[in-house]
Amino acid sequence: MTQAVRRHDRLAVRLSLIISRLVAGETLSVRKLAAEFGVSVRTLRRDFRERLMYLDLEYHHGSCRLRAAGNTALRELDVLTFAHRAGIAGMFPGLDRRLVTTLLECDEAPCLTWPSPEVTTPAGSLSFYRLIKAITDRQRVTLIAEGQRCERAEPCRLIAYQDVWYLVAGYNGHIAVFTLDEIHVVQPTTEAFRRSENLCRLVENPVFIQALPHFRFIQQSLLSFSSVPEGQD
């Protein structure tokens, strides 16, 4: 990996973490962020001035935060859209704008999901973002996962099951399943692919989702069984 690529990856991770904190409602100190990411205050100010210029930010005594949205209806719609596209809307009974407004305006956390998922590393966050982008753009990727290199993989869906994120992808005409923790590198390519409707339907099947933790064992067992010559045990 070249120095330019490493620098680009660090920038992508830094910006994604800053945006996620701002969206979560945090007020960020530029000096503390500079120390946390190991960059200069000047670099952080450039991030906010040039790379995050599209965000509606307000600054006060060296800190910044997202300006309160003037259009609350649009803000509620954004939350609802995110919940449905992320597949978590079903977790909240009767999720609508009224409920979203109540959750956004309360000063404490009235809901708790348990057990809470573990905090991912910056590398995991970058891989997650690149996979989301590749899935939505229908773009092939190169994966390096636990020493295995997969060229031209076709990512289909990221599925959270039992506090683990799984990637389901098409690879060499077969279905491949990886946990996010196993994936060390996600390298997007410029090559597009046509999404398999059959695979998309399969990954929404509850039986398939429940089998994800055992997918490789089942797959290897089937391959081993099929390789046994007929008439032999």
Calculate the average pLDDT of the chain. Answer: 81
The whole-angstrom separation of Cα 84 and Cα 91 is 10
More confident residue, 144 or 70: 144
Q: Which CATH number fits domain 3-66: 2.10.25.10, 2.60.34.10, 3.20.20.60, 1.10.10.10?
A: 1.10.10.10
Using CA atoms of 198, 201, 203, 207 in order, give the dihedral in degrees to the nearest 10: -110
* Structure tokens belonging to residue 24: 């979560």
| Confidence label for 178 from pLDDT (cuts 50, 70 and 90) | very high
Note the CATH architecture for domain 122-226: Roll (2.30)
Question: 57-95 burial, b for 16+ CB within 10 Å, e for fewer?
Answer: eeeeeeebebeeeeeeeebbeebbeebeeeeeeeeeeeb
| Confidence label for 192 from pLDDT (cuts 50, 70 and 90) | very high
Q: What is the mean pLDDT of residues 133-139?
A: 90
Question: 202-214 burial, b for 16+ CB within 10 Å, e for fewer?
Answer: bbeeeebbeebee
The answer, yes or no, to whether residue 106 has pLDDT greater than 80, is no
What confidence score (pLDDT) does residue 190 get? Answer: 93
Longest dimension (CA), the chain: 80
Q: What is the pTM of this model?
A: 0.59
**What is the domain partition of the chain in residue ranges?**
3-66, 72-105, 122-226
| Confidence label for 228 from pLDDT (cuts 50, 70 and 90) | very low
- For the stretch 48-89, pLDDT in tens is 888 887 677 888 888 888 776 555 666 777 778 778 777 777
Fold match between domain 3-66 and domain 122-226: no
Q: Supply angle C-alpha 166, 88, 161, rounded to 5.
A: 30
The whole-angstrom separation of Cα 5 and Cα 158 is 25
DSSP output for the chain: --HHHHHHHHHHHHHHHHHHHHHTT--EEHHHHHHHHT--HHHHHHIIIIISTTS-EEEETTEEEEPPPS-HHHHHHHHHHHHHHTT-GGGSTT-SHHHHHHHHH-SS-----SSPPPPPPHHHHHHHHHHHHHHHHTEEEEEEETTEEEEEEEEEEEEEETTEEEEEEEETTEEEEEEGGGEEEEEEEEEE----HHHHHHTT-HHHHHTGGGHHHHHHHHHHHHTSPTT--
